[in-house]
Amino acid sequence: NAGVTQTPKFQVLKTGQSMTLQCAQDMNHNSMYWYRQDPGMGLRLIYYSASEGTTDKGEVPNGYNVSRLNKREFSLRLESAAPSQTSVYFCASSRDPLNTEAFFGQGTRLTVV
Amino acid sequence: QQQVKQSPQSLIVQKGGISIINCAYENTAFDYFPWYQQFPGKGPALLIAIRPDVSEKKEGRFTISFNKSAKQFSLHIMDSQPGDSATYFCAALNSGNTPLVFGKGTRLSVIA
């Protein structure tokens, strides 16, 4: 049982490059989330999808776009990467829309130089 | 505006001691308060959670104390062990309306 799987695990980008972070869950969950984690800042919500077909902005959406491809997959895209987007990105999912327990992936460590 | 304020940022506790981490919130619509535990290189994982209709919840060595009138809740780790060394996050949500919002985290080190 894989749970929440994120790819890639590590990535280095040059300023201005674009990339997509992939996330897939095999728990038949309805809601999915993207958070970023920075030292001393905790986990901040970038975007979320309460259910298939919907997406909403979180606390720090600028510079990002998302796609809820299907019930299993939720991708995060950086169109023009900036050094301020250097962070660890976590995808999470929960069973019911905006319901209690969220299950997290292992994270993607992104460095923008 | 930070919705959940967590303290301290870091904590060092002797093995066998009690670790206490505190959180405060402003939004009275929050109705679920979990604590997440994160080991280095891993994603956060749910440790224990409480709803505001009870003042305390205990699971093994971990206890959440909840004070609704003060809008505060805390995590107590009894008989702290080196294996408890991790980063702990408090969080809150309004079920069905808003996603989890997290505190900034507390790095706990339990030393022998």
Tokens linked to A93: 């999912």
Tokens linked to A49: 């999808």
Candidate from A58, A96, A104 with C-beta closest to B43: A104
Chain A residues with CB-CB distance to B41 below 8 A: 106-107
pLDDT per position as a tens digit, B35-89: 999 999 999 999 999 999 999 999 999 999 999 999 999 999 999 999 999 999 9
CA distance A77 to chain B (A): 20
Between CA B10 and CA B88 the distance in angstroms is 10
Candidate from B32, B93, B104 with C-beta closest to A42: B104
Candidate from B6, B95, B98 with C-beta closest to A100: B95
Strand A31-38 to strand A56-57: parallel, antiparallel, or no bridges (unpaired)?
unpaired
Contact B101, A45 (CB under 8 A): yes
Please give the interface size between A and B, counted as residue pairs whose CB atoms are below 8 Å apart. 61
CA distance B61 to chain A (A): 20
CA distance A35 to chain B (A): 10
Between CA A23 and CA A35 the distance in angstroms is 12
DSSP-based three-state secondary structure for A53: coil
Q: What is the pLDDT of residue A101?
A: 84
Name the least confident of A84-98, B3-17, B36-50: A84-98
Split at pLDDT 50, 70, 90, the class of B7 is very high
Does B96 sit within 8 Å of A42, measured CB to CB? no
Phi, psi of B41 (to 5 degrees): 80, 5
Does B99 sit within 8 Å of A48, measured CB to CB? yes
Tokens linked to B1: 């505006």
How far is residue A64 from each of residues A59, B35, B37, measured CA to CA in Å? 12, 28, 27
